[in-house]
Amino acid sequence: MDETALLSCLFRQRKDFESLMAIGMEATDFSEAGKFVVTAIGEQYKRDEKITEASLEILRSQAVRRFGQGSMADSIIEFAATFPDDISGINILEEYRLLRLARLSTTLATLLATGQHGDETLSLVDKYKLLCSGEQGEVFKPRLEIEDFEEDDSIRIQISPKSLNDYIGGGVSRGHNITVYGRPDSGKSLFAINQAAYACKQGYRVLYVGNEEPSVDITRRLISRLAGVDIKLLRDRDCLLAALEKVHKDYQNWFLYHKAGVTAKDISRQCATLRPDFLIVDQLKNVATSADNRALQLDTLARQVRELGIEHECVTLSVTQAGESAHNKLVLTMTDVEWSNTGIPGAADLMVGIGVDDEYLATNKRMISIPKNKVNGRHGAFPTWIEPERTAFLSKQRNRGNK
């Protein structure tokens, strides 16, 4: 395997480096320069747990500190400059694992054939198991202690609008999966972007996976909500610049992933890099999957989004459609989810149905239904209001006070 391609993965993706460390690294797989680069990358990641890739400038300083000014330090930097940019980390690391596994299999077979079953063989068997699994093994807590039952409300993440947050008892926890569904034009994306803006304002990092509309339109709607500015005004460049300056701090918490044919693995890689507090998938149907039929596709994707939240310790919110049964209907049930009566509801901890009829549509009202609620067990429905021009979902009409 090309050493520079493997080192490039480790240099540019912290998760790739951690994955390699999890299955062990063989020093014999790298040149002397490569060994130094791996050690230097590890130092950088250990010092700063927030960085997602290593720094070439810091690597330069590390080389000078280790070898002094001169040809060796220069050669390390020149070597690092040859690392390719266009690489597939998943494929390269998997090939590295399989090559290691093939070599180890041959060595083990030879030792076992000669009847050698000592400590060295047992150690190699452990390595073989590790390489087969691709990880160090499952870490779990077999028994809960009293402190595990003591809930800390301060770590719950509040959601919007306030009436919904209050209804479920003051927010959700990391790992909770929210499903939002409704008929076309009921306000599903408005709800999702409103939630994204609210989370950004609270200082949470939001990864928004959206393919329902152009990325510029999605982002303009977010800025409209953050700044409280009519979205039509943001088509003027000066107004847009002023709004961006006003919401600069909150806007730094927003990450938009807009890619045709995006898969759950693509999203997982972004989560590993960005480490969001909130993952929003708008919409579920736009995520690619290999399942054979539509119902199975959506059920699979709903489960995968839930697993992403658990794996990356974030709140997940996925948007999906309601079926024809929800047309001109205010209070929605689980069976109103399009294509899925069990899979999508089964993967949700909290289901938020957005109902609307002709009267509600004319007055910018929406009915929020909670047919499933593992957060605090409360079910029911209550009215809310929307302001499409500001991408806002409100508990009450603005002139009546609370949002």
Is the pLDDT higher at 340 or at 7? 7
Q: Is the peptide bond before 161 cis (omega within 30 degrees of 0)?
A: yes
90-148 pLDDT, tens digit per residue, is 788 888 888 888 888 888 878 777 776 677 777 777 777 767 755 444 445 667 777 76
Three-state SS at 89: helix
Q: Is-contact 194 393, C-beta < 8 A?
A: yes
Domains 3-133 and 156-400 share a fold: no
Domain boundary assignment for the chain = 3-133, 156-400
- In angstroms, rounded to a whole number, what is the distance separating the alpha carbons of residues 161 and 163? 6
| Spatial CB neighbours of 298, under 8 Å, sequence gap ≥ 6 | 284, 285, 320, 338, 339, 340, 343, 344
- In angstroms, rounded to a whole number, what is the distance separating the alpha carbons of residues 353 and 334? 8
- In angstroms, rounded to a whole number, what is the distance separating the alpha carbons of residues 207 and 187? 20
Other CB atoms within a 10 A radius of the CB of residue 244 amount to 15
When the candidates are 1.10.287, 1.20.120, 1.10.10, 1.10.860, the CATH number that belongs to 3-133 is: 1.10.860
The secondary structure element, H or E, covering residue 97 is helix 89-113
Q: Does residue 165 register a pLDDT over 60?
A: yes
156-400: CATH number: 3.40.50.300
pLDDT class of 402 with cuts at 50, 70, 90:
very low
Pairing of strands 380-387, 365-373: antiparallel
- In angstroms, rounded to a whole number, what is the distance separating the alpha carbons of residues 130 and 115? 23
Other CB atoms within a 10 A radius of the CB of residue 192 amount to 26
Q: Does residue 203 register a pLDDT over 80?
A: yes
**DSSP assignment, residue 158?**
P
From the list 89, 27, 3, 100, the residue with the least C-alpha distance to 53 is: 89
Is the pLDDT higher at 107 or at 380? 380
Q: Is-contact 277 207, C-beta < 8 A?
A: no
pLDDT class of 86 with cuts at 50, 70, 90:
confident
- pTM for the whole thing? 0.67
| Residue 200: both structure tokens together | 């950004």
- In angstroms, rounded to a whole number, what is the distance separating the alpha carbons of residues 350 and 379? 10
Kindly write down the DSSP assignment for every residue of 301-349, as one continuous string: HHHHHHHHHHHHT-EEEEEEEB-GGGTT-SS--GGGBTT-SSHHHHH-S
Three-state SS at 160: coil
233-283 pLDDT, tens digit per residue, is 999 999 999 999 999 999 999 999 998 889 998 999 899 889 999 999 999
pLDDT class of 212 with cuts at 50, 70, 90:
confident
CA distances from 22 to 6, 91, 97, 124, 135 (A): 15, 16, 11, 16, 6
| Structural Rg of the chain based on CA atoms | 25
